[in-house]
Structure 1
Amino acid sequence: MQTRCYDGKKWQYEFKYEGKRYRKKGFRTKREANSAGLDKMAELKQGFEYEPNLTLYNYFKSWCETFKKPTISSKTYKSYASTIEHIKSHAIGSIKLKDITRYNYQEFINDFSKKHSKETIRKLNGYIRTSLDDAVYEGLISKNPTFKVKYRANNPNKTEESKYLDIKEYEKLKKHLKTKDNASSLVLFIMICTGCRISGALSLKKEFINHVKSEIYIDEHKNDSSPRYVSVSHEDMKFIQKSIDNLPLTIDGTIFGSLTINGVNKRLKVYCNNLGIKEITSHALRHSHCSYLLAKGVSIYYISKRLGHKNISVTTEVYSHLLEETYQEENDKAVSIINAM
């Protein structure tokens, strides 16, 4: 495998496996490129031992255990394990992979939709769609049966407004966190500044903090795009660095040691009540980060990169409700521009 710097700033990896060339660009350092290349090579070598009568259940279970379980947190994997069980308990699970049609899959989604919210359906469909994209790549099936699947939830989602703070609430919480000196508050502050998932904040190490460039290296073990450098302001970086220096040393080398998601969320609930703002979980800070930047006119393309999404379609799907909110403003702007010609 080779790694090289191709424009004086970015790095790429490149190698051949079984006569096919694999290459990926866009890494910030040689180390990142090399690590990603080794992961890709291991993924290709690991592979599957496929059987002619492989069912959807057996395929998806093997796919999850091979490609997901070793690379994501145990908490995140619970969602994949739940999807495995849903497939197993439905008739579609026993159908041979090569025989599944769009009709079979739509029937499965229709049944699942009867008792689940739109967000839950979206996640399950996304997991299965991605696994079957790989099946197409491997030549196991010629087409992905999840293509253009339709669904309508019978269970309501939480209101979109409950998933994030408005501009004033977000600013108010950030200001309040700067008055605190505990580990949970620092986790929340970093999430507000970077938009990272809580898993990325809790796994931070001191060497991930670059106070010279005012950047934080985030790796949430979510996808190939999740390892990334996120810029923060110099003022916020000073506060983060000072707060880290005041924390006790940990055994495992991380900044926050054994601090748990539950512990952080409990602290956040207290702060929300003290400030008189809606109660949210730490994950809502990620939604709030996106909402805040959109409201300030930042492009969805940049936000997608900042959040570490695999591609911009993920961002537009998850935050479609926020994009709808900016439509009228953008529409008025477009009309004004055309009128000025």
Structure 2
Amino acid sequence: MWIEKIENSKGIRYKYTERFKNPATRKFIKLSITLNSANKQAQKIALEMLRNKFDEKYISAEKQLQEKLQNLTFYTVADEWLEYAKPTVKLMTAINHENYVKRIKKFIPADLFFLNFSPAMAEKIIRDLYYTINLSFGYSKAILETIKAIMRYAKKSGYIYDISDFEEITIKRRPLTENELQKTMNKFLNKNELAECLKQLTALNPRLSLAMEFIALTGLRCGELLALRVQDYDRNNSSINVNATLISKVNNGDEVKRGTPKNIYSYRDVLLNDRAKHIIEWFILENKKSAQWNGRTYKDRGYIFTSKNGYPYDLSYINRILRKINIWDKRITSHIFRHTHISLLAELNTPLKAIMQRVGHHNPNTTLKIYTHVTETMKTELNNKLKALNF
């Protein structure tokens, strides 16, 4: 302990300072108090007061934390992180976080104490997901990042002091399975497949068929399509302004929630050809008719691509209908129409950068996969035609 003499307008006082070792961080901290005297009696009092101050501030707090840790489960910490992160992210990101945590919990007993959750357990979860269950690299990596985020939160909360072993966990891409290779090849439809797909979809739901055709003509994400409002359509300039996405978890009949687009590059104007203009104007006209003729059941919310009652379609409903379509070895989802648009632009030899700007891509990987496959197919077809040339 050392003493510092302080002189000011109030007179002379003495500042007593001592260093203590924080039991939580193992680092030294300094605590101080001020008394009016520096005699031996005052020094004894000062030392006792400093020890009491340290005990109250650090020792008792550490004891309370240790008592909490005795009963703290991994589930509790994961749920705490969800609440901690929710205000800082988009609604769809928060929904994804919840889904990732649910997946992680499937590998962990509900009564597992947090302190018993080890890096080896975390690594096994990722290895099982990616190498055994054969889930995608992107999804498995997202689960890993979620675990790391939970551990970072735990460190901030004082539940754990060293998470370096968790931070060092990595995931290495494995060779693609035959099924994954096939999926890569089947992310889009050729023109004949698109025509057949829309034909089958028209028989199931004509309005939905037009909406999916609109995606194939514009490359919108389904959420972006559903968020389009009448004021987002510029008839004079034949374009739409993409400025939002519809939250997919909102069911028909619930209050519609608009969220921000996926990223800053998703804000864009998209030019429409005559067929796309015809589709969007058909929806606007049909919605006006429904508002006039079916006032009791129809509610105008300003959205364009809606069901007959005025609610934007629910994404899960759309994909449920699309699963009924039978196109050889193709899994039909709303996203395949977006990929189809990219493939159609690639066939037209549209520059990659122009495609990325049109569909709102920042990372070129997805665009390149489709673009490269289409151009390679075009080369193969050209080679076959050249072989057939005979004079």
| TM-score when normalising by structure 1 | 0.57
TM superposition shift of 1:251: 2.9
Relative distance call for 1:193 and 1:144 in structure 2 (3 A) is farther
Q: What residue number does 1:61 align with?
A: 82
Q: Among 142, 167, 184, which residue is 1:145 paired with?
A: 167
In terms of Rg, which structure is larger?
2
- Aligned equivalents of 2:354 and 2:166: distance in 1? 30
- Aligned equivalents of 1:181 and 1:57: distance in 2? 42
- Within 5 Å, give how 1:112-123 maps onto structure 2: 112-119=129-136, 121-123=137-139
Q: What residue number does 1:195 align with?
A: 219
Residue identity matched to 1:305: Q
- Aligned equivalents of 1:246 and 1:181: distance in 2? 18
Higher alpha-carbon deviation: 187-196 or 165-174: 165-174
TM superposition shift of 1:210: 1.2
1:82 aligns with 2:99: yes
- Aligned equivalents of 2:202 and 2:106: distance in 1? 49
String of CA shifts for 1:205-241, please: whole Å, max 9, x gaps. Answer: 1111111222212222353336523423341353134
Relative distance call for 1:243 and 1:174 in structure 2 (3 A) is same
Higher alpha-carbon deviation: 206-215 or 259-268: 259-268
1:322 aligns with 2:370: yes
Q: What residue number does 1:296 align with?
A: 348
Residue identity matched to 1:293: L
TM superposition shift of 1:179: 12
Q: What residue number does 2:240 align with?
A: 216
Q: What residue number does 1:244 align with?
A: 283
String of CA shifts for 1:259-298, please: whole Å, max 9, x gaps. Answer: 333554466567x56x999562222112222222233333
Relative distance call for 1:246 and 1:72 in structure 2 (3 A) is same
TM superposition shift of 1:323: 4.8
1:72 aligns with 2:92: yes
Aligned residues: 267
- Aligned equivalents of 1:278 and 1:243: distance in 2? 29
Tell me the percent identity: 17
Q: What residue number does 2:315 align with?
A: 261
Relative distance call for 1:230 and 1:194 in structure 2 (3 A) is farther
Q: Among 228, 251, 269, which residue is 2:267 paired with?
A: 228
Relative distance call for 1:100 and 1:62 in structure 2 (3 A) is farther
Relative distance call for 1:161 and 1:155 in structure 2 (3 A) is closer
Q: Among 336, 339, 346, which residue is 1:287 paired with?
A: 339
TM superposition shift of 1:170: 3.5
> Secondary structure of 2:167's partner?
coil
| TM-score when normalising by structure 2 | 0.51
- Aligned equivalents of 1:304 and 1:135: distance in 2? 36
Runs of at least 5 residues in structure 1 that lack an aligned partner in the other structure: 1-50, 333-341
Runs of at least 5 residues in structure 2 that lack an aligned partner in the other structure: 1-64, 157-162, 246-258, 292-298, 381-391
Relative distance call for 1:177 and 1:149 in structure 2 (3 A) is closer
String of CA shifts for 1:183-223, please: whole Å, max 9, x gaps. Answer: 32331122112212222222221111111222212222353
- Aligned equivalents of 2:338 and 2:354: distance in 1? 15
- Aligned equivalents of 2:98 and 2:83: distance in 1? 11
Contact 1:191 1:285 survives alignment (8 Å): yes
> Secondary structure of 2:264's partner?
coil
Relative distance call for 1:148 and 1:207 in structure 2 (3 A) is same
Q: What residue number does 1:6 align with?
A: none
String of CA shifts for 1:20-69, please: whole Å, max 9, x gaps. Answer: xxxxxxxxxxxxxxxxxxxxxxxxxxxxxxx999977357524653344x
- Aligned equivalents of 2:84 and 2:357: distance in 1? 27
- Within 5 Å, give how 1:133-172 maps onto structure 2: 145=167, 149-152=171-174, 156-157=179-180, 159-170=183-194
> Secondary structure of 1:306's partner?
helix
Residue identity matched to 1:123: Y
Contact 1:117 1:156 survives alignment (8 Å): no
Contact 1:115 1:155 survives alignment (8 Å): no
- Aligned equivalents of 1:238 and 1:170: distance in 2? 19
Relative distance call for 1:146 and 1:210 in structure 2 (3 A) is farther
- Within 5 Å, give how 1:168-187 maps onto structure 2: 168-170=192-194, 182-187=206-211
Contact 1:169 1:277 survives alignment (8 Å): no
Contact 2:240 2:270 survives alignment (8 Å): yes
> Secondary structure of 2:97's partner?
helix
